């Protein structure tokens, strides 16, 4: 099958399922087997395995969410903050974020993990929101935020933390802090 046709089918499946299947999942799930070696343009079956759409193990869930978490975080940082804190973020904050996500994942049976997803747009300007993980009713499960702190005569710090639904998002669970400098940081996403 030509590559362009395969890509077209992946995009088509993603559109038809309204985001239930990501392009990466559709590409994996689209199994195409030639019916006859002499005629490679005819196919015996094109199938999507529904088992993998309704079930996800904890490790694959954490891996999937971490990819999205990193991308959402870098989007939030923008081109002015991102290059300055990116290395520290990956070294200090991401491992703690992964531990928090894994902890939340353990609270859900594997068959429900497929219903959890990352919100699509991080907050800009002065908003704390990096991303939230929501269930199928779009109710928040865990919220990942970053706050700008400016202790007297210490400069600016980025305080990464999260909140969970267990206490109606009241408690700050620390992920770590990253020093900016004495100057006011630019707005998020700038």
Domain boundaries, the chain: 3-54, 58-179
pLDDT digits (tens, 9 = 90+) for 5-16: 666 666 666 666
Is pLDDT larger for residue 4 or for residue 148?
Answer: 148
pLDDT of residue 55: 65
> Mean per-residue pLDDT for 35-41?
39
Q: How far is CA 117 from CA 20, 51, 100, 126, 140, in A?
A: 10, 18, 15, 24, 10
Residue 156, SS3? coil
Q: What is the per-residue pLDDT across 102-137, written as a single tens digit (0 to 9) for each? A: 998 999 888 888 889 998 888 989 999 999 999 989
Name 39's bridge partners: 36
Q: What is the mean pLDDT of the chain?
A: 80
- 71-75 contacts at long range (C-beta below 8 A, 24 or more positions apart): 72/118, 72/119, 72/122, 72/130, 72/131, 73/122, 73/130, 73/131, 75/122, 75/189
pLDDT of residue 47: 32
Q: pLDDT band at 149, cuts 50/70/90?
A: very high
Tokens (6 digits) for 40: 């490679």
pTM (two decimals) = 0.70
Mean pLDDT of the region 141-157: 94
């Amino acid at each position: 099958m030509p590559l362009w046709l395969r890509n077209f089918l992946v995009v088509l499946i993603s559109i038809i399922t309204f985001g239930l299947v990501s392009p990466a999942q559709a590409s994996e799930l689209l199994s195409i087997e030639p019916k006859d070696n002499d005629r490679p343009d005819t196919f015996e079956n094109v199938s999507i395995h529904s088992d993998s759409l309704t079930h996800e193990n904890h490790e694959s869930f954490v891996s999937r969410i971490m990819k999205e978490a990193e991308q959402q975080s870098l989007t939030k940082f923008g081109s002015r903050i991102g290059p300055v804190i990116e290395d520290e973020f990956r070294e200090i904050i991401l491992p703690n974020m992964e531990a928090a996500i894994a902890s939340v994942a353990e609270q859900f049976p594997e068959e429900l993990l497929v219903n959890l997803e990352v919100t699509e747009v991080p907050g800009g300007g002065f908003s704390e929101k990096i991303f939230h993980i929501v269930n199928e009713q779009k109710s928040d499960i865990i919220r990942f935020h970053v706050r700008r702190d400016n202790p007297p005569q210490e400069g600016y710090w980025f305080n990464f933390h999260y909140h969970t639904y267990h206490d109606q998002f009241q408690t700050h669970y620390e992920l770590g802090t990253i020093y900016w400098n004495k100057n006011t940081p630019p707005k998020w996403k700038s």
